[in-house]
Amino acid sequence: MPRATSTSSLPPSPSPATRPTEERVIRVRVTGFPRRCAAVIVDAGLLLACTVGVTLVAALALRVAIPGPRELGVDLLVAGILDRNPMAVGALGLFLGMQVLYQLYFAGIAGQTLGMRLVGIRLISGRARPPGAARGMMRVLSMSISVLPGALGWLWAIFDREHRALHDHLAGTYVIVDEG
């Protein structure tokens, strides 16, 4: 029986096909609820400003009467939607569509929205990378579940040990403090 002459105590390295994948453990700090809310307010304000701008340009181009400052409000939008006013329905559709695309690209693919960047937080998957398109889409779709029943899915983040909202749990994402 041949004897090994190597003095190394390490086992021989396996072939590349059987080499186990190395798992890195990265320590991160999850963000708190106030920072998440600040980022959402910034993002919603940005999208709302874009929606209002596009809607105003469309109203001027179509020569639609623009309501005065005293008439503006949530009740005008709700009344417009209930009356099936094309401008109100279009503005709501534009806002929701922009929200989906914004969240999908910035949060899902890039890992950070403009509001998140401003408050110093980032979105990652379980592998400490930006979530990607599939997880981003899952997160966007599950956000409606988080928001619709009185934002209970969002409030979940207050009590969760990792400060993850319902849509974060469903999509497998984490919101962390951006220390880079």
Digit-by-digit pLDDT tens for the chain (180 residues) are 444 333 334 345 555 555 556 667 778 888 989 999 999 999 999 999 999 999 999 989 999 887 777 877 788 888 888 888 888 888 899 999 999 999 999 999 999 999 999 999 999 998 889 999 999 999 999 998 898 888 898 898 999 998 999 999 999 999 999 887
- Alpha helices in the chain, H assignment, sequence order: 33-61, 74-82, 86-102, 114-119, 132-147, 152-159, 166-171
Task: Tell how far CA 157 is from the center of its chain.
Answer: 14
Distance linking the first and last C-alpha atoms of the chain: 56
Which residues have CB under 8 Å from 124's CB, separation 6+? 28, 111, 130, 131, 173, 174, 176
The size of the chain, in residues, is 180
3-state secondary structure of 72: coil
The pLDDT score that the predictor gives to residue 21 is: 63
User: Across-strand partners of 121?
Assistant: 177
**pTM score, two decimals?**
0.78
The pLDDT score that the predictor gives to residue 113 is: 95
The pLDDT score that the predictor gives to residue 26 is: 75
Task: Report CA-CA distances (Å) from 15 to 2, 10, 18, 46.
Answer: 22, 15, 5, 53
